[in-house]
């Protein structure tokens, strides 16, 4: 999943759930972390409830839509 796809899904969710803008932004952040750092780091940085909520709202699955790690996460976290 690309950053553009994440932003499109977040824009749709913002329009559909105007009263939950903060929640949508937190979900978008989880997916952006998964894109930039890999799904393993995104799960490490967020609690399980936040990850599941982001997956549900944005229609994504971290383990299948994102790489396990990225060059940036290997540089920062060593994996």
Cα dihedral 3, 47, 49, 38 sign:
positive
The DSSP code for 68 is: S
Name the token pair of 54. Answer: 């982001």
Residue 79 is predicted with a pLDDT of 73
pTM above 0.85, yes or no: yes
Residue 35 is predicted with a pLDDT of 97
Is the distance from CB of 67 to CB of 39 less than 8 angstroms?
Answer: yes
List, for residues 5-61, the tens digit of each pLDDT value: 999 999 999 999 999 999 999 999 999 999 999 999 999 999 999 999 999 999 999
Taking the C-alpha atoms of residue 58 and residue 8, their distance in angstroms, rounded to an integer, is: 10
Place of tokens 């780091």: 41
Name the token pair of 62. Answer: 């971290």
Residue 5 is predicted with a pLDDT of 97
Taking the C-alpha atoms of residue 49 and residue 73, their distance in angstroms, rounded to an integer, is: 22
């Amino acid at each position: 999943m690309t950053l553009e796809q994440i932003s499109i899904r977040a824009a749709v969710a913002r329009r559909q759930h105007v009263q939950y803008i903060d929640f949508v932004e937190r979900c978008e952040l989880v997916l952006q972390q998964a894109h930039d750092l890999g799904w393993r780091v995104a799960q490490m940085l967020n609690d399980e409830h936040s990850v599941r909520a982001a997956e549900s709202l944005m229609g994504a699955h971290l383990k299948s839509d994102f790489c396990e790690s990225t060059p940036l996460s290997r540089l920062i976290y060593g994996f």
